[in-house]
Copies of this chain bind each other. A is one copy, B any other.
Amino acid sequence: MPVELSGRALIFDQNGSILVLRRSERSRSNPGKWELPGGKPNPGESFEESVRREVLEETGFEIDIHHSAGTADQEVTGYHVVHVILIASIRSGGLALSNEHVEFRWVKIPELSLLDRADWFDQYSQVYLIGPVPSPDAA
């Protein structure tokens, strides 16, 4: 199955909170769900350029990228996306959402468990950030 790449920024502020965005209800995938800013490279664009561009478009922030922090997979009809998560901080800019998202929050990592997360971000959160979420069957 074809594999596509997506770069995502885990942007921390000075208090250790991270920036999460809620997708539009009109999104084709994961409508209304919470996720991290970022996305796929355009043709000819480098990985770094694509992450910086997507984050700027979606948040209004220029970021500094520090290091990588794992991956998550997303199955879409006919292909497969690998989301690469990068730890980042804000260099400059002011928060301004694109029409792709309808809401933002700065949350502490444990608060991620309270959000209705996009499929890949749910996987990532459980593996790397908040641990496995008990299934509804596990009473």
A interface residues, Cβ below 8 angstroms from B: 1-5, 41, 43-44, 46-48, 51, 65, 67-73, 80, 82-86
Contacts and interface: CB of A to CB of B under 8 A. Distances in A.
Contact of A5 (B3, B5, B69): B5
A1 B47 CA distance: 13
Given A41-B47, A67-B80, A82-B86, 7 more contacts: A2-B48, A3-B65, A4-B47, A5-B48, A47-B82, A67-B82, A71-B84
A2 to B, nearest CB: 6
A2 B84 CA distance: 16
A4 B50 CA distance: 11
Contacts of A48: 2-5
